[in-house]
Amino acid sequence: MNDALFDLRQLRQFAVLAEECHFGRAAARLAMTQPPLTQAIQRLEAALGARLFERTQRRVALSPAGAVLLPLARKLLEGADALAPAVRAAAAGLSGQLRLAFVSSVTYGPLPAWLSGFHAAYPDVALSLREATLDVQLELFAAGEIDAGFVLHAPGAVPPGFEHVRVIDEALVMALPDGHAAWKSHAAAATATMPRLRWRDVRAEPLVIFPRQIAPSLFDALVSAYHAGGEAMRIAQQAIQMQTIVNLVSGGMGVAWVPESLVHLQRAGVRYARVTGLTGQALRCETSLVWRAGAAPVVERFVEHVRRGRRRVSTGR
C-alpha cells in the first residue's frame, strides 16, 4: 500500500458516503457528480487494499473494513478541521502557553486581578506562574524557561536588554515593630492609619533587608539614601521574600523598607509608616513587566492586557 495515494479529501468523501449509503445523495452533499465520487472511492479502496462498501443494485452499505475505517477517518478529519483555526489562534496570541515569573511584592498589588482578567479574556492560553526574584528571573530568561516577568527595581533602573512597561510606581515605607520607641515619640503616630515618623528617629535602626543580588538597583538606592542622610546602613538580617522580611520585623529583628503595596500584608506586631526628613531623593521603587523583543504573540497579548489594566487603575476606572 502506498499511503501517498489517498488524502483527506478522499477520506471526507468516504465519510459522507458512509453516512448517506447512497452515491447520489453523497455526491450532492459533496457538490460533485456521481461518477467522480465512485472513482474516488475505488482509488481509496485500491490504496488501502480493502473493499470499503458492499454494493448491490438496491443498497450501499459499509463493509467490515469500512466500519473500522469510519471512526478513524472521522478523527483525522476532525483534527484536520481544527488545525487551521488552532494555528491562526496561536499566531494571533489567542492560545498557547504564557510562562510568567513575578516578585512576591506584586501579588499585594494588581497582579491577581490582572491574571484573573487575562484568563477570562483568553481562556485558551495556559498560564504557568513562577515566583522568582530578579536574579533568578534573569537566569530563567537566559535558559528560555520564562516568557515575561514582573521585577522590582529602583526608579528608572529596568534591567538592560528587555522590552518593558512600568506597572507600579510607589513609595517605600518602613515596617517597624509595634513596640518601637519611635511610636512613643509621636502621640499622633500611635493612632494614624499611615503615620509619619522622623528620619532621625529611625536612621540608626538595624535593617532587615533583601540581599543585594535579588534587586541590586534598589539595594544601591537605599545605600545612597542613607549616605545622603549622614548614616550608614546597619544590616541586621537578610531575607529574600518580602513576607519573611515583615515576619522578621514582627519578631523584633529590626526595621525594614518595603513597597507601600505591602501594607496590605498585615502581621501582628508590625506597623507601617512613612519616614519624613530624609536627606536626598524620596525613597521610591518601581515594578516593571519585562520581556524579550520578538516574543511570542501571546506575550504581546498579555502586555497589552496589563497596559489596559494599568490605565484603568491610573484613571480610577
> Among residues of the chain, what percentage have pLDDT more than 90?
50
pLDDT score for 180: 79
pLDDT score for 236: 94
Q: Are residues 68 and 160 in the same domain?
A: no
Q: Average pLDDT over the chain, rounded to whole?
A: 86
Q: Are residues 137 and 272 in the same domain?
A: yes
In 3D space, the residue among 259, 242, 247, 261 whose CA is nearest the CA of residue 112 turns out to be 261
Q: Are residues 33 and 122 in the same domain?
A: no
Lowest mean pLDDT among 29-33, 73-77, 192-196: 192-196
- Cβ distance 208 to 248 under 8 Å? yes
DSSP string, the chain: --GGG--HHHHHHHHHHHHH--HHHHHHHTTS-HHHHHHHHHHHHHHHTS--EEE-SS-EEE-HHHHHHHHHHHHHHHHHHHHHHHHHHHHTTSSEEEEEEE-GGGGGTTHHHHHHHHHHH-TTEEEEEEE--HHHHHHHHHTT--SEEEEEESTT-PPTT-EEEEEEEEEEEEEEETT-HHHHT-TGGGT-SS-EEEHHHHTTSPEEE--GGGSHHHHHHHHHHHHHTT----EEEE-SSHHHHHHHHHTTS-BEEEEGGGGGS--TTEEEEEEE--SSSPPEEEEEEEE-TT--HHHHHHHHHHHHHHHHHHHT-
Q: Are residues 80 and 105 in the same domain?
A: no
pLDDT band of 166, cuts 50, 70, 90: very high
For residue 244, pLDDT beyond 80: yes
| Mean pLDDT along residues 166-185 | 85
pLDDT score for 56: 83
| Domain boundary pick from 91, 106, 134 | 91
Q: How many domains does the chain have?
A: 2
Beta carbons within 8 Å of 265's beta carbon, 6+ residues apart: 108, 242, 243, 246
Q: Can you give the CATH number for the domain in which 54 is found?
A: 1.10.10.10
Q: Are residues 65 and 206 in the same domain?
A: no
Q: Are residues 234 and 272 in the same domain?
A: yes
For residue 31, pLDDT beyond 50: yes
Domain that holds residue 85: 3-91
Q: Can you give the CATH number for the domain in which 302 is found?
A: 3.40.190.290
pLDDT score for 308: 87
In 3D space, the residue among 118, 114, 117, 113 whose CA is nearest the CA of residue 97 turns out to be 118
Beta carbons within 8 Å of 228's beta carbon, 6+ residues apart: 278, 279, 280, 281
pLDDT score for 97: 87
| Domain boundary pick from 45, 67, 91 | 91
Q: Are residues 34 and 123 in the same domain?
A: no
- Cβ distance 40 to 10 under 8 Å? yes
Q: Are residues 163 and 102 in the same domain?
A: yes
Lowest mean pLDDT among 55-64, 72-81, 87-96: 87-96
Q: Are residues 247 and 316 in the same domain?
A: yes
In 3D space, the residue among 84, 113, 105, 141 whose CA is nearest the CA of residue 287 turns out to be 105
In terms of average pLDDT, the best of 16-25, 40-49, 149-158, 270-279 is 149-158
Where b means 16+ CB within 10 Å and e means fewer, 103-113 reads bbbbbbbbbee
pLDDT score for 6: 67
pTM of the model: 0.72
Q: Are residues 129 and 262 in the same domain?
A: yes
pLDDT score for 185: 62
Q: Are residues 272 and 206 in the same domain?
A: yes
Q: Are residues 115 and 241 in the same domain?
A: yes
pLDDT score for 317: 47
